[in-house]
Amino acid sequence: MNYIMAFLFSGFICFVAQLIYDNSKLTPGHITSLFVVIGSFLDLFHVYDKLVEIFHAGALIPITSFGHSLMHGAMAATKEYGIFGVAMGMFDLTAAGIIAAILFSFLVAMIFKPKS
Amino acid sequence: MSSHFLGNSVKLDNVYIASSGTTCGPLEFFGPLGSYFDKGYDDYHCGEKSFEKAERKMLREALDICLKREQLKLKDIDLYMGGDLLNQITTVNYLAREIPQPFIGIYGACSSFALSMAISSLLIEAGYVDKIVTLVSSHNATAERQYRYPVEYGVQKKATTTFTATGAVATLLTNQKTSVRVESITLGKVIDYNQNDPNDMGRAMAPAAYDTIITHFKDLKRSFKDYDLVVTGDLSTYGHKILKTMMQQNKIDVVHYDDCGCMLYDVHKQEVFQGGSGCACSALVTMGYLYPLLKEKKYKRILVVATGALLSPMLSAQKETIPCVAHAVSLEVVE
Amino acid sequence: MDRKEYDQLAEELKPNGHKISNAFHAFIYGGVIGIIAQGVLEFFMKTYKYSQKEATPLMIITLVFVACLLTGLGIYDNIAKHAGAGTFIPITGFANSMASSALDSKSEGLVLGIGSNMFKLGGTVLTYGIVSSSLLGVIRYVITLFR
C-alpha cells in the first residue's frame, strides 16, 4: 500500500511539472526552484508533514521535499535558539543530501568522461 | 575583370572553387550523405582530451585534405578566413596558430560558411589575393556546452529544437579557372522578428532567409526557376515550412527548394528533432554533396543561403530577442 | 509581413511535440522513482531499525549516489529524454544537474572547471530554497510569538 501511495504522489508531482514544462517557456531550473519554494511554503502550517505521513517516500523524493526539509530544520531549531535557529538549523535535515550530491558529483567528474 | 554591384549583391567574373575538405561526426557519417564526406569520426572526442580540441582536430584534417588534393602547402595560400560557433571563435583562432599566413576570423553564427565564402570571393574578384581557404566548423558537444546545457544533463529537448552538426569544412577559392565558380553573392541584413526562444532557431531565422533571398532575386532579376536548387542553411523542417509559406503568401512560386538541415540527416530515423544546424550544416551539404554534383554537371546553378542566429545566452537571459542574418552565394558550372 | 502576422503564421505551422504522452511518461517515470525510493526507505528502516524520519537521509544519499553514477555512465540523460519531469523533479534531478555540470567542466581542471561549475544548474534550487525558508521561517517564528 505504501508503494502505491508513493507511486501516485511522486508521479502526480512530476505530471504537474511536465505540464508546466511543455506549456510554458520555463526551464527545469525555473520549475524546480518554484517547487522547492512551494515545498517550503507547504511546511509553514505543517501541511507537508501530513503529506509525508500519507505518501511516505512519494513525498520525500520530489524536490519539494527539499524545501520542506529546509523549513522543518529551520523551525525546529527556533525552539532552542529563537530567531537565530532559522539559520542554525536549516541544513540539519538536508545536510546529508547536499553533501552526498557534492561528493558524488566530484567523484563522477574525476572518474568519468562526458559522452555526447 | 568587371564586377557589378547590384543592390546588396555582387556578380562575379573571376572566382572559382578549386578544392574542398570535409570531416564529420558520427551522426553525420551515418546520415543520408555520410558517404560523401572525406572523413568521419565515430565519437565526439576524436581521440582528444576535450571536445574543443576535437573540433580543432576535425578542422585541421579538413584543411589538410583540401590542400593535399591540389598538392598545395599551407604557405601556398595567400589568406585564410574562418569562423565557428564558439565564444571568441576559438576553434579557428587557435587553429590559425598553425597557419603561417594571414588569417581573418569572422563570426556569422551558422551563416559563417556563406559569409566567409562571400567575403573571400570579393577579395579575389577585386584582385587583392589569388588563393583563399575558408574554414568553418561546428561540434555538437562544444555548442551544447556553450549555448545550452552540460552534455550529460537530463533535459528533455523541445520539439522545435535543432541539432548542431558536428563537422568541419575547408574550401579553396582561387582566380584560376576550374569547373565550378562562385557566380554571385548577396550579403544579408540583420533581421530581428521578435523571436526569443533559443530552442526554436528555425522560426527566428526564417525572416532573415526570406529577406536575403528576395533581395538576391530582386538585385539579379531572378527567381527560384533560375536555379536547379535553392538551399537554406539550417532552417530545418519547421523553418523550411515557414519560409515556403511566407514565399507563397507573397505570390512567389517556390520550386527546387530544400534545406541543408533536412538533407544532412534522416529526420525520421535520427534523433535530430527538426534537423541540423551549425556552421558545418550548410558547409558539409554544399561542399560535400552539392559541389560534386556541380562538378558532374548534374546541377548547373545552385543558390546557398546560409542562415545564422546571432544570439548570446546572456542576452537571451536578459530577455532580448534574437537577431538573425542570412548570406547567399550562387555556385555555377563553368561552360 | 509584420511581426504579428509572422507570429500567427509560425504558430499555425508549429510542430506539436507529444504533450499528452510526455505528461503520461512523466507520471510513470516519476511514480517509479517514488516506488524505488519507498523500497530503499523501507530497506533502511528494517535493516537498521530506524524510524521513517531517521531513514530518510540514508534513502536520499542512496538515490543521489545512483543518479550521479548513472550520469557518469551516460545513462541518466537517455532516461531523461523519455521521462522529462519524471527525472528532473525528484532529488535525482538535482544530483544529475550537479554531476553533469561537474563532469562537463572536467576539461577546465579542478578549480576553474569542476569546482566552479558544480552548482551552475543546481545553484538556483539551493538559493531559492534557502531564501524562501529563511523568510517563511522568520514569519512562522513571529507568528508563534503571538500565539
pLDDT in tens, A13-61: 999 999 999 999 899 999 999 999 999 999 888 899 999 999 999 999 9
Neighbours of B162 (CB within 10 A): 29
Mean pLDDT of B239-249: 95
C1 falls in which pLDDT band (50, 70, 90)? Answer: confident
Measured between alpha carbons, how far is residue B145 from residues B52, B56, B221, B296 in Å?
Answer: 10, 16, 43, 40
The percent of chain C in helix, strand and coil, each rounded to the nearest 5, is: 85, 0, 15
**What is the pLDDT at residue A7?**
95
Residue B237 pLDDT > 80: yes
Q: Are B92 and B121 in contact (CB under 8 A)?
A: no
Mean pLDDT of B85-99: 97
Nearest neighbour of A18 by CB, restricted to C84, C128, C136: C84
> What ranges make up the beta strands (E) of chain C?
none
Residue B3 pLDDT > 90: no
C119 falls in which pLDDT band (50, 70, 90)? Answer: very high
Residue B1 pLDDT > 80: no
**What is the pLDDT at residue B271?**
92
Best residue of A32, A113, A116 to probe chain B, by most B CBs closer than 10 Å: A116
Percent of chain B with pLDDT over 70: 99
Tens-digit pLDDT profile for residues C18-73: 889 999 999 999 999 999 999 999 999 999 999 999 999 999 999 999 999 999 99
Q: Are B198 and B168 in contact (CB under 8 A)?
A: no
Cell numbers given for B291? 559541389
**What is the pLDDT at residue A45?**
84
Cell numbers given for B255? 520550386
Percent of chain B with pLDDT over 90: 97
Residue A1 pLDDT > 50: yes
Q: What is the DSSP letter of C90?
A: B
Mean pLDDT of B242-247: 96
| Mean per-residue pLDDT over chain C, rounded | 94
Mean pLDDT of C101-126: 95
**Cα-based angle C27, C31, C34 (whole degrees, multiple of 5):** 150
At B23 the three-state DSSP class reads strand
Instruction: Give dist(CA A71, CA C131) in Å, integer.
Output: 10
Tens-digit pLDDT profile for residues B163-194: 999 999 999 999 999 999 999 999 999 999 99
Residue A91 pLDDT > 80: yes
- For A:66-85, CB contacts with C below 8 A are 66-67, 70-71, 74-75, 78, 82-83, 85
Tens-digit pLDDT profile for residues C134-146: 999 999 999 888 8
**What is the pLDDT at residue C17?**
78
Best residue of A1, A18, A80, A83 to probe chain C, by most C CBs closer than 10 Å: A18
Q: What is the DSSP letter of A62?
A: B
Q: Is B51–A116 a contact, with Cβ atoms under 8 angstroms apart?
A: yes
**What is the pLDDT at residue B102?**
98
**What is the pLDDT at residue A93?**
93
Q: Is C35–A7 a contact, with Cβ atoms under 8 angstroms apart?
A: yes
Percent of chain A with pLDDT over 90: 90
C16 falls in which pLDDT band (50, 70, 90)? Answer: confident
- The structure's pTM equals 0.93
Exposure string of C93-132, with b = 16+ CB inside 10 Å and e = fewer, is bbbbbbbbbbbbbbbeeeeebbeebbbbbbbbbbebbbeb
Residue B28 pLDDT > 60: yes
Chains contacting A (3 or more CB pairs within 8 Å): B, C
**What is the pLDDT at residue C147?**
75
**What is the pLDDT at residue B335?**
86
Tens-digit pLDDT profile for residues B6-22: 899 999 999 999 999 99
Best residue of A41, A52, A60 to probe chain C, by most C CBs closer than 10 Å: A60
A69: Cα within 13 Å, side-chain hemisphere: 23
Q: At what angle do helices A28-42 and A2-22 cross, to 10 degrees?
A: 130
Residue B2 pLDDT > 50: no
Continuous segment of H or E residues that includes residue B79: strand B79-84
Mean pLDDT of A79-98: 93
